[in-house]
Amino acid sequence: MSYPHRIRLRGPWVCQPLEADSMERTLPQDREVAMPGCLRQFGLPGFSGEVLFRRNFGYPGRIDSWERVWLTCDDIAGKSDICLNDKMLGKAQTGRFAHDVTDILKPHNKLEVFLRAESDSDGLPGEVAMEVRALVYLENLHVKRDPEGAIQVKGSVVGSWPELLEIYAILDRRNVHYQTTLASTSGQSFAFTIPADQAQGSHLRIELVNRSQVWYVFELDFSSDAATPIPGEPEA
């Protein structure tokens, strides 16, 4: 399998209003919801205050020695305290979130997100997922095509591994770049340019490879300007 492998945590979640900023005497009732979404989409128009989102899920299959499991959220609107199995992962989190939870996971798991919402547009509008990664992965990837048509790529290789790793760039099934790299826990930066005469194509795939095993995959479709990881995203 190539990485990252995502298991989407779409539903069912329980949405429990805990405290309203308004003078409401009776809080709205708890409700089952499916992520991603905001309070307005969950039937709470005009609500602001504190809300608890909670979801139970099982252990994500067999985890090998070179794998780690991360809890990720692509976007948090509002400020959230995030707990897994009663362990605090982050306080006042907003925007993107990722945390290594390999050593916290149990056969049965309880995820709680305490959201302080300033308006009914707050919530978890980004995908929430368990993400199985190899010990080393790519982070802070930025890809753009410059006015001359060349493709600029930069990012970092994060993790701990004693040997050289390989980075491939494949454009419409053509290998257009190759380099070796080391990893570091703080992130080993890399950058390269695919010249304009080699950059004709729409589908870019960047692979981080350890020997014959793909440890991370990133894809970008220039026709839609949307980046998505290759592996399928089953729901848990």
The predicted-structure confidence for 73-95, as pLDDT tens digits, reads as follows: 999 999 999 999 999 999 999 99
Which residues are within 8 A (CB) of 62 and not within 5 positions of it... i.e. 6 or more apart?
Answer: none
Q: Is the pLDDT at 232 greater than 50, yes or no?
A: no
Could you read off the pLDDT of 104-130 as tens digits, one per residue?
Answer: 999 999 999 999 999 999 999 999 999
Residue 189: which pLDDT band, with cuts at 50, 70 and 90? very high
Map out the domains of the chain with their CATH numbers. Answer: 5-134 (2.60.120.260), 136-228 (2.60.40.10)
Q: What pTM did the predictor assign?
A: 0.81
Residue 223: which pLDDT band, with cuts at 50, 70 and 90? confident
The per-residue pLDDT of the chain, averaged, comes to 91
Query: In whole angstroms, what is the distance from residue 133 CA to residue 190 CA?
Result: 20
Burial degree of 76 (CB within 10 A; 0-12, 13-18, 19+): buried
What is the pLDDT at residue 11? 82
Question: Which of 221, 222, 217, 232 lies closest to 141 in space, CA to CA?
Answer: 217
What is the pLDDT at residue 25? 66
Query: In whole angstroms, what is the distance from residue 193 CA to residue 195 CA?
Result: 6
